[in-house]
Chain A
Amino acid sequence: MIESLINIILFTMLAATSLAVVRLHNLFAITMLFGVYSLLSAVIFVELDAVDVAFTEAAVGAGISTMLILSTLVITGHHEKNPKHGPWLPLVVVILTGAVLAWGTLDMPLFGSLDNPIHQHVAPRYIQDSPEEIGIPNMVTSVLASYRGYDTMGEVVVVFAALIGVLALIGINEKKCAKRQYSSDERPPRPVLQVMSKLLIPYIMLFALYVQFHGDFGPGGGFQAGVIFAAAIILYTLTFSLDDAFDLISPRVLRPLAAIGVLIYGGTGIVTMLLGGTFLNYSVLAGDPKSGQHYGILAIEFGVGLTVATVMMLIFYAFVSRGEKGKVE
């Protein structure tokens, strides 16, 4: 009873948030509401028992993507342009598309029923065999990193490709930002924030490491850990300045590290091939297949974490340096 009430309230808030996003015109406010939307989705995922997804949604959707969009708004301008055409044609298109989608769901099996294809296909095998084959308590990690290692490798490559795209289009403006008096003249210093972020950042990084290496046992893993680690550096960039962040971790160091993360992932696959297994079959990494799986998962999760963390930092650097350069000129 209470549970369904909670569900109803959460979905109502979700719908209200999306309506408010449509109504508002200040893009900063809209971005914040998108963060709220992601957070509400994360809560709903927790309710549906999908804690790993919820973790990713809270860290990526509500966290890092909000910050990246905000840093983009500084470059592009923060007020919505008035559309030149009337609202009727888009409304008709949206209603038609929605009707077609709703009509399509009529053929789908009932939500949560046991004979759904998703419950019949490979899921029973994963659930039954993963304790013997892989032996880590969090099955999501064993599916993500071992059974579906190819998919995850593809995802990491996508993240890396996004970085290449951003660097090719915008690039990181390292030289122009090296103006010291800019931060002290135009902007008031932020002593409280600087002191407290200095105290907080080590704990954020420690928590990121916990998420990275605890992914075998609880929710978490390379993606979430990488994002949290990048968030620590982003906090440093925000409270100090971009120059200080460049001094802390230079883009020159980060760029190779992003590639090395992908290489670690692929390299693990090559090593398993050299040891006589198939690509990304970690069982051959040690005498005991289970420990082999453990080593393999640790290695590729490290690669994922490295790539995600460095890519997020570099994209943030790129957007912020572009924004500040625009202001200098």
Chain B
Amino acid sequence: MDNIAGTKSGLVWATNLSVIFLVILWLVPTIGLLVSSFRDREQISESGWWRAPFAVEQAFRINPEPEGVVQEGDLYVLEGNLFGDAGSGAVAGFGITSRAPGAAEPGMVYARFIVDVEEPDGTIDDTRLELAYPADGEPIFPAQDEDGNTILAETAVLDRALQVEANGDFRYLSDSEIDRAPTIYITAETPPEFSLENYDTILTSDNMDRAFINTLTVTIPATIIPICIAAFAAYALAWMDFAGRGFLIAMIVGLLVVPLQLALVPLLQLHNRIGIGQSFLGIWLAHTGFGLPLAVYLLRNYMVGLPRDIIESAKVDGATDFQVFTKIVLPLSFPALASFAIFQFLWTWNDLLVAKVFLPSNSESWVMTVKIADDLLGSRGGDWGILAAAAFISIAVPLVVFFAMQKYLVRGLLAGSVK
């Protein structure tokens, strides 16, 4: 067929490439989330998730104990190894300020001088100047500092100096007595780290497990109960003759698009009046009501297409409507029931609006969507690893359902969109 059509191979290539491009475009955001959820907090802030498989240069702060300080001339000297006794790490750079934690390479000396500068108007002032220079060399002062003042190099006085080797050996010099632990910054390559730590944190310390169970508690009854109610109604609308049937079907088509927002205030008031209030019972009833139009519509459309012969011959044989429904129509309608069940499951699991209104607003009753939107995005705003893990916990179950039952979902979509 393709050959007869004379499809050019160039077009096939272009099609393949553009589909690959679109698929990647669609997947990238989700993959980013998934990768980030396994990454360590520091690594997330050091490098993008797309560089997750590679080593990350991370900055560390180390405060070595000021033990064994010796005096050499005017200066006090502290020597040792930053990693304890053994030189286990590999230092990539070091420094004495958090601004520039990797300012000097191993083997160099990084020093701070107090030096006089001459401002353009002739005033003499002093400033601090940090410099890196080879251990066997001399510091070379620039002619001017950042503000454009002339540096008077001959006035330089050493304030402190640091020398670190790649294996962690260090030598710290100071012009005043070292009685507190000096602060040393180093940068080191850390290998990529993937762990379940974020999941562990969010599930154990953040009440996400509770939210997960709440979501499950909301979802299951809210999926099953409307199916029961809708199946009978759909059968009546499909296979029973009575006045007003057409009107009812039109009504249900109309109700399919009624915005949920309309129902919130009056129904919450109603629930409060009859004593249900904001509770799980309330949200089950609400989801049941909101899911019914689609359920009835989908199931009726499917049932109407069942072969007339089977149903009529069963009736001729003396089966009642109730028997026809339970013994013949219901088993045959399984695909439609499955379609609606998936819809309703995804919808209730993913819902935020109904949960915010019909469930109590205390944290004990939060479902996962509310937990993420109202709590985590605020309290854990910058903690991307935790956020990613939380989001992934909330989307994992729907994703499994989605991929396992995609066939029914597609069928339901095709039957459910108003033709």
Q: Is this pair of chains taken from one and the same complex?
A: no
